[in-house]
């Protein structure tokens, strides 16, 4: 367990920029909009 705590995560999570995170979040959010808007015809419970 000591091994787990001693790993410097910030050194290993450094290969993706915040811009990429933003772009992916934005794109997947728009896909949800497309899916849920398109699902309008589904009847309510």
Partner 1 sequence: MVSYPLIIIGALVIFSYLFDIVARKTKFPAVVLLLALGIGLQYPVAYFGLEVPNFTAVLPLLGTIGLILIVLEGSLELDFEREKLKMMRQSFGAALFILLVTALGITGVFYYYSGASFMQSFLNAVPFSIISSAIAIPSVAKLIKAKREFIVYESTFSDILGVLVFNFALVNEVVTVRSVMELGWQIVVILAVSVALCLLLLYVLSKLTHHVKFFLIISIILLIYGIGKMLHLPTLVIVMAFGLMLRNADLIEVKWFKKYFLYKTLDADLHQLSQLTAESAFIARTFFFLLFGFTMDVNSLLLPEVWYIGLPIIGLIFAVRFIYLRFVTKLFFPEFFIAPVALLPCCLYLAYR
CA distances from 12 to 2, 9, 24, 41, 43 (A): 18, 5, 20, 46, 47
Tell the residue number behind the tokens 């915040």, with chain if given: 18
Q: How far is the CB of 12 from partner 1 (least distance, A)?
A: 6
Rule CB under 8 A: is residue 2 a binding residue for partner 1? no
Tokens of 9: 């995560």
Q: Which parts of 6-45 interact with partner 1 (CB under 8 A)?
A: 7, 9-10, 12-13, 15-25, 27-40, 42-45
Task: List interacting residues with partner 1 (CB under 8 A).
Answer: 1, 3-4, 7, 9-10, 12-13, 15-25, 27-40, 42-45
């Amino acid at each position: 367990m000591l091994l787990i705590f001693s790993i410097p995560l910030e050194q290993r999570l450094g290969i993706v920029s915040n811009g990429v995170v933003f772009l992916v979040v934005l794109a997947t959010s728009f896909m949800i909009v497309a899916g849920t808007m398109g699902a309008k015809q589904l009847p309510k419970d």
